[in-house]
Amino acid sequence: MQIAITREVSRSIAQCELTHLSRVQIDLELARSQHQRYQQALAELGCEVVSLEEQPELPDSVFVEDVAIVLDECAVITRPGADSRRPESDSIARKLSEYRKLVYIEAPGTLDGGDVLRVGKTLFVGLSGRSNRAAIDQLRALIAPYGYTVKAAEVSGCLHLKSAVSQAAENTLLVNPRWVNPADFGDFEWLEIDPAEEYAANTLLIGKSIIYPTSFPRTRQLLEQRGIRVVAVEVSELQKAEGAVTCCSLVFTQPVTSA
């Protein structure tokens, strides 16, 4: 069974962190209904959605991906690169402790989950404005005992590694080659986004389907031509907060225990 942890959109999302985008008005009600539909897509794809309550004082708290990395053996509680986001960790850690042993990234390390692309036993970690080498070294030491390999990858021009590259199918990565170097990622098949859609490389793979924004029709066509099943969601308001589809959930497998 797959669990997807999500969190309701904060009423203060208009005060979110922005790095590469200019601030434009966010329609809170629309953001919330788009987020509802996103959660519904997760449920339709077989996830049990565990929705945490709103954190009114934490503008970016809907973006739960950034505060943890959930592996089969443990959950790594990150130390987000933006000061305003550090208080998001506590309640996610409490919830995750119901499922996993917790381990922590500590100062001077900073790490956003949006910088971590996990493919099998390999974790690619973006060196971005949010995540640094100290955190990468800590992460490597924390999870090496479980057989994981951690590889650093330079990111430029975007917020997180997964703004630039994400997994679209078992052996296929969707990439914007202007923001990362494909050579850093080994032997995967590559699908390049349509160059007219620079934010199109972030997709959330659940089973054999992907949750994907409606705002990138050209890249969506490329994905579908590869035989990838796309569940399209409208996320315009979350995109204005520099979010995308991976960042709104923490998805992990939980063995079904028999009574």
Catalytic residues: 160, 247
| C-alpha separations of 11 from 168, 191, 230 in Å | 32, 37, 30
Shortest CB 133 distance to ligand CIR, Å: 19
Shortest CB 80 distance to ligand CIR, Å: 7
Burial level of 189, CB count in 10 A (0-12/13-18/19+)? exposed
| Nearer to ligand CIR among residue 6 and residue 145 (C-beta) | 6
Question: Of 205, 247, 251, 204, which is closest to residue 99 (Cα–Cα)?
Answer: 251
Shortest CB 132 distance to ligand CIR, Å: 15
| Nearer to ligand CIR among residue 143 and residue 242 (C-beta) | 242
Q: What is the DSSP string of the chain?
A: -EEEEEEPPPTTGGG---SSS------HHHHHHHHHHHHHHHHHTTEEEEEEPP-TT-TTTT-GGGGEEE-SS-EEE---SSGGGGGGHHHHHHHHTTTS-EEE--TT----GGGEEEETTEEEEEESSS--HHHHHHHHHHHGGGT-EEEEEE--SSSSHHHHEEEEETTEEEE-TTTS-GGGG-S-EEEEPPTT-TTTT--EEETTEEEEETT-HHHHHHHHHTT-EEEEE--HHHHHTT--SGGG-EEEE-PPPP-
| Residue with the CB atom nearest ligand CIR in the bound state | 114
| Nearer to ligand CIR among residue 95 and residue 221 (C-beta) | 95
Kindly list the residues in this chain that would bind ligand CIR in the complex (CB under 6 A).
16-17, 19, 60, 63, 65-66, 82, 85, 114, 159-160, 241-244, 247
Shortest CB 81 distance to ligand CIR, Å: 8
| Nearer to ligand CIR among residue 95 and residue 126 (C-beta) | 126
Shortest CB 244 distance to ligand CIR, Å: 5
| Nearer to ligand CIR among residue 19 and residue 156 (C-beta) | 19
